[in-house]
């Protein structure tokens, strides 16, 4: 099953290189359309900037879609270095816009490549990360006497309880990474001497979960 790191939330940092300000904004994007919308939003926010250079990766590994744009900087000095840093980060589903306010001193080709690359590296260093992973959502009905032990089993398999319903029995709705679901099932059966079994009610190939 696919598992890869993604940004947990939008993040922004600023660096100054020879009086030019470089403001790097990175964000999670699940689709190419989301990436384009993010780039357009940042460009509107910084409409008075000299340049708004963009790069994004949607997907991961062999299924990734990558794109970059120099936004008026000399060809190959801005978007491509930004994209190269993204590609080397291991992240998927990530977009970045580096906004430049020109400081009056030209940086030259090599200086631009370094500045844009450094701006992306800085924002990625500050970026909180999550994981995109395939998950199962399971439902299990348990007697009240087993309820606390079931909660501990969910925690032990790094699952997340989504819902609890209290009636004649307790109905627990929980979500696990696909590869952890069999271990939860086994522990549940061992604890209950085979009387309890979780039913898989949903599968999601792209759930965002906290980084372990």
CA distances from 108 to 50, 74, 100, 101, 112 (A): 16, 9, 14, 15, 6
Q: Which of 176, 87, 183, 110 is nearest to 137 (CA)?
A: 176
Nearest residue to 63 via CA among 30, 96, 25, 36: 30
* Residues contacting residue 7 through CB under 8 Å, at least 6 positions apart: 26, 27, 28, 91, 93, 94, 127, 128, 129, 130
Structural domain that includes position 22? 3-127
Q: Which of 103, 127, 151 is the last residue of a domain?
A: 127
Instruction: Provide the CATH number for the domain around residue 106.
Output: 3.30.230.30
pLDDT of 208: 83
- The Cα 77–Cα 109 span in angstroms is 6
Blockwise average pLDDT, block size 10, the chain, 212 residues: 86 95 96 97 97 96 91 95 96 97 91 96 96 92 93 91 94 92 93 90 85 64
Do 139 and 123 belong to one domain? Answer: no
């Amino acid at each position: 099953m696919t598992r890869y790191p993604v940004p947990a939330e939008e993040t922004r940092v600023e660096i100054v290189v020879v009086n030019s300000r470089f403001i790097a904004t990175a964000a999670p994007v699940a689709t190419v359309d989301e990436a384009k919308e993010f780039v357009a939003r940042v460009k509107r926010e910084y409409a008075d900037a000299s340049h708004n250079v963009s790069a994004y990766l949607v997907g991961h590994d062999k299924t990734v879609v990558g794109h970059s744009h120099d936004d008026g900087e000399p060809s190959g000095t801005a978007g491509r270095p930004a994209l190269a840093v993204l590609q080397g980060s291991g992240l998927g589903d990530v977009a970045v816009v580096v906004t430049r306010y020109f400081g009056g001193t030209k940086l030259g080709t090599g200086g631009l490549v370094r500045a844009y690359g450094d701006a992306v590296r800085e924002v990625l260093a500050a970026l909180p990360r999550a994981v995109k992973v395939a998950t199962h959502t399971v439902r299990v009905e348990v007697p009240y006497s087993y309820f606390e032990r079931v909660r501990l089993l969910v925690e032990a398999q790094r699952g997340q309880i989504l819902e609890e319903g209290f009636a004649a029995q307790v109905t627990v709705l929980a979500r696990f990474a696909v590869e952890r679901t069999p271990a939860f099932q086994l522990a549940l059966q061992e604890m209950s001497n085979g009387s309890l079994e979780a039913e898989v009610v949903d599968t999601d190939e792209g759930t965002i979960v906290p980084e372990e």
